[in-house]
Structures are given as structure tokens and as C-alpha cells.
Structure 1
Amino acid sequence: MNMPFAAVPAKTKPTGSGEMLENLQRTTDFLKSLSHPARLVILCRLAEGPACVGELEAVLSIQQSAVSKQLARLRKDGLVGFRRDGRTMVYSLNDDRARGIIDALYNEFCTGTQVLGPE
């Protein structure tokens, strides 16, 4: 079941076990999309604003083809969108839930004020 996440209602209560299983599958698909290191970096960068492939390539320090592969997955999952600017593709974050999770992860792991961590 590879539905774009943006098409899934954000807050629905399951009415039965079948619906609950569907919701769980969508949740795990969503988290899988976020869990790849390159995709997570792309989403973090796009949370700051739109970017082209070249900018993302510089941030990730990986080849353009690898960036494009991860962007294709994020587009398929409905998390990012793009627009053409001449010959350049400009990508942006499309999913408010992903933005919320990115913000929460940033606050937890990137601000230096972590409550939990290795002891």
C-alpha cells in the first residue's frame, strides 16, 4: 500500500481492527520514509526552505544520482514536491506532519538541551 502520505487524513480514529491495521501500515510507511539518513537530511534542509538538487548534493556530500533517488522516494511518498525554475528543479517540503516531526527531532537532538541521552 504505497499511498502518498499527504493524501491520508491526519487524525482519524480507527473503527475496527482492519482500519487500525491500515493506519499502522501507513504509520510504518511514513516512518520508513523518514528513517533513511539521506532522506532525513533532505527533509531537514527542505524544512528551512526550497532547494535544488545541487544544493542538496552539497549538503549531503553524495552524488547527484543518489540525491535524485532519495528525492524520488520522498516525492512518491508525498513528502516533497517540486517546481521547475527554467532547467532547475526546486524541491520543497509538502507535508506538515513531516515538518512537525522534523521540528521535534531538531528540538530533541540538535539544540544541545536533550533531556535523555547516553550516560
Structure 2
Amino acid sequence: MTVRTTMDPARMRAEADRITAALRLLAHPDRMLLLCTLSQREMCVSELEEELDLHQPSLSQQLGVLRSEGVVAPRKDGKNVFYKVTDPTLMQILAALYRTFCPKE
């Protein structure tokens, strides 16, 4: 027999707000492409631009949103800026979406 405990309503509200914010980030097609790609490996801006066929200023704008939300981090190496996903919760969400919607190769 499984005993279920009820989560405190205030905590549920806080979690609902956090989940909604994460889903809002994923709700933009360009951000979804960026996050899916960056969840696989760190990439520089020029690689992202070429691989995803995203161009300035859209690419910079969406990377700026992801940076400001704290889910990706930049790393400068010479003239190149590399990005990677740094939010472990978002990585779990992306993995679940990948398993559900992306074809197995």
C-alpha cells in the first residue's frame, strides 16, 4: 500500500511558478532548438548559427534570454564564445522531451 502525502499549498505554488517559467523558456521554437542542441554538447555561436540555420540578431536575442534566465553559460575562448546548458533540472526536462519526441537513430 502506498501512502501519499499532500504537498504544502505554498510549496506547490512555488513549484508551479518554477515549472511554468521553465515551460515558457521552452515554448519558443528557436530557444527549443538551441537548448536541445546545447544539451548534447558545448558549442560556439558560429557552430550554432551554421548547424541550426539561425541568424543574427535572432540567435543573439535567444541566447541572451537563456543567459538571463540562468540556464546556459557562456565561455570565451579567444574570439569565440561557447555555450552550454547549466541547469540540471532543465537538462532532465530536455532528456524527457528528447526521449518522447525525437526519433532514435
* TM-score normalized by the length of structure 1: 0.74
Note if 1:59 corresponds to 2:55: no
Q: Which of 4, 13, 18 is the aligned partner of 1:21? A: 13
1:116 corresponds in structure 2 to none
Q: Which runs of 5+ in 1 are unaligned?
A: 1-12, 113-119
> Partner residue of 1:39?
31
Q: RMSD of the TM alignment (CA)? A: 1.8
2:82 pairs with 1:90: yes
Distance 2:94 2:31 in 1: 11
Structure 1 residues 28 and 87, CA gap change in structure 2 (3 angstroms): same
Three-state SS of the structure 1 residue aligned to 2:57 is helix
52-61 or 34-43, which moves further after superposition? Answer: 52-61
Deviation at 1:14, TM superposition (A): 5.3
Gaps of 5+ in 2: 1-5
Q: Which amino acid aligns with 1:109?
A: F
Where do 4+ consecutive residues of structure 1 move more than 6 Å?
none
Task: Give the residue type in structure 1 aligned to 2:8.
Answer: T
> How many matched pairs?
99
Conserved in 2, the CA contact under 8 Å of 1:53 and 1:64? no
**Aligned equivalent of 1:48:** 40
Pick from 72, 78, 96: which aligns with 1:104?
Answer: 96
Within 2, Cα distance between the matches of 1:67 and 1:73? Answer: 10
Distance 2:83 2:21 in 1: 21
CA contact (8 A) 1:33 1:39 kept: yes
Using the alignment, how far apart are the partners of 2:42 and 2:100 within structure 1? 23
1:1-43 Cα distance to aligned partner (Å, 9 max, x none):
xxxxxxxxxxxx95343x4323222211111001111111111
